Amino acid sequence: MSVRILIGAQWGDEGKGKIVDILAPKTDLVVRYQGGANAGHTLKFNGKTFVLHLIPSGIFHDGCQCVIGNGVVIDPFTLLQEMDAVRGMGVEPAGRLFIAETAHVILPYHKALDKANESSKGEGKIGTTGRGIGPAYVSKTSRRGIRMRDLLDAGSLREKLDEALIEVNLHLSSLYDAPTFTADELIPDLLEAGRQLAPYIRNTSDMVHDAIDLGQSILLEGAQGALLDVDHGTYPYVTSSSPTSGGACTGSGVPPLAVTHVMGISKAYCTRVGNGPFPTELDNELGEQIRKTGHEFGATTGRPRRTGWLDLVALRYAARVNGMSELVVTKLDVLDALDEVRACTAYRVNGVETKVFPLGCETLEAVEPVYTTFPGWKTNTIGITSFDALPTEAKTYLDFIESYLKVPIKIVSTGPDRTETILIEE
């Protein structure tokens, strides 16, 4: 039995979808454990590119069952559209996709609250995608949420909506001068969505525990990245859930002692979307070159990502918080043309060098990164599938990362396609 948690070890967009796709053939159950449709997991194979937002990335492998766990917030209409898109790719989700009955629902008023709140902040915007993720988690924690099981019961749905809308409409009207909602206008579409999703909704916690008892292999798939965790990330510039390994347990029902591996994913450089501190950011021509070469534009929003050198101080912090036992390095090929490659190995704070990642944004925004410089390999690595076949300079760079973090590198991605991958054996 193996229970592996797959986490983004930076600010998201590390390439988790591809890695899940690679690991899925040897996995019985893939469980998405947090986030919502604001995350886009990109897969590329057979000359085609697919972007999944809610459905776990193992859906394209016949022997793999897929679960949307209780920690995910679900827009049922977006999910139905995505299921149709998967069918259009020749894959039938029926019998292989399961939705936690206790997962919370993103409703139209969550999107309205999200957009109104973000617009009101002016220059202080967080950079939300406007898909209602944050407000849905607020409803959940304030005990005013609607869960997937409620879409199957008209009486329960009306009762809970009537109660929730008292507070929601007060916020929309008094704080934002925005249109309000009624239960009558929401219920028909929600019940229809529930009717269509009913065959997929079940007690997934019991399903996961049965898989553990049977000794099956389980992969817990996160969204976003550890540095966006609501507790451990660069607060307040974070997501509204816990992408860390701890969040994997609460968002799936897997007990901590069942976890056997924690695999972190990092790009060979850094990116970040939206606002927030970014010590190694390259706001110059080199940063633009990396952005264009790496196609660093959001799979969900299309927004250009900020780019910078690899931040090993931040990555070390992510490794410790998550208990990372394995590391994946993606997009190594994006650095192929550079004369030199840098990695931040310390911060200088008030003239003092440290390897400790500051937990306050004010401090993090003021740090001076201390770099170690490596010669570039100036050689095409796209599609290389053997570590030994990599240029010496690239191997030196990877060896340094592994040594600094004290976490073994198990996979190196050398291109977007599932075949463009180095699998490093024990």
Tens-place pLDDT, residues 151-206: 999 999 999 999 999 999 999 899 888 899 999 999 999 999 999 999 999 999 99
Looking at the structure, tell me whether residues 284 and 178 fall in a common domain.
no
| Segment 302-306 mean pLDDT | 89
Which residue among 21, 41, 75, 417 is the active-site one? 41
> How does the average pLDDT of the chain come out, rounded?
93
- Flag whether pLDDT at 126 surpasses 60: no
Catalytic status, residue 13: yes
Q: What is the pLDDT of residue 426?
A: 54
Q: What is the pLDDT of residue 52?
A: 81
Of 166-175, 300-309, 316-325, the poorest mean pLDDT is in 300-309
User: Of 197, 214, 242, which closes a domain?
Assistant: 197
Q: What is the pLDDT of residue 177?
A: 86
- The number of residues making up the chain comes to 426
**CA dist 279 → 25, 289, 341, 425 (Å):** 38, 18, 16, 34
Each residue of 14-72: pLDDT tens digit? 999 899 989 999 999 999 999 988 666 666 666 667 778 899 888 988 889 999 999 99
| Segment 247-274 mean pLDDT | 97
Looking at the structure, tell me whether residues 297 and 369 fall in a common domain.
yes
Which residue among 13, 28, 150, 229 is the active-site one? 13
Looking at the structure, tell me whether residues 232 and 287 fall in a common domain.
no
Helix (H) or strand (E) run with residue 206 in it:
helix 204-213
Each residue of 356-405: pLDDT tens digit? 999 999 999 999 999 999 999 999 999 999 999 999 999 999 999 999 99
- By the 8 A CB rule, do 49 and 13 touch? no
Looking at the structure, tell me whether residues 89 and 175 fall in a common domain.
no
Over the Cα atoms of the chain, what is R_g?
22
Looking at the structure, tell me whether residues 27 and 78 fall in a common domain.
yes
| Segment 419-425 mean pLDDT | 92
Which residues, in sequence order, are bridge partners of residue 167?
Answer: none
| Segment 257-263 mean pLDDT | 97
- Flag whether pLDDT at 127 surpasses 60: no
Residue 99: phi and psi, rounded to 5, are -120, 130
Looking at the structure, tell me whether residues 214 and 181 fall in a common domain.
no
Parent domain of 26:
3-101+201-261
Q: Which amino acid is at 142?
A: S
Q: How many domains are there within the chain?
A: 3
123 pLDDT tier (thresholds 50, 70, 90): low
Looking at the structure, tell me whether residues 138 and 220 fall in a common domain.
no
Looking at the structure, tell me whether residues 342 and 392 fall in a common domain.
yes
| In the chain, % of residues over pLDDT 70 | 94
- Flag whether pLDDT at 130 surpasses 80: no
| CATH (domain of 252) | 3.40.440.10
**Cα–Cα dist 136/339, whole Å:** 46
Helix, strand or coil, per DSSP, at residue 334: helix
Closest to 280 measured CA to CA, from 341, 191, 204, 339? 341
Alpha-carbon dihedral sign for residues 13, 15, 17, 19: negative
Looking at the structure, tell me whether residues 338 and 392 fall in a common domain.
yes
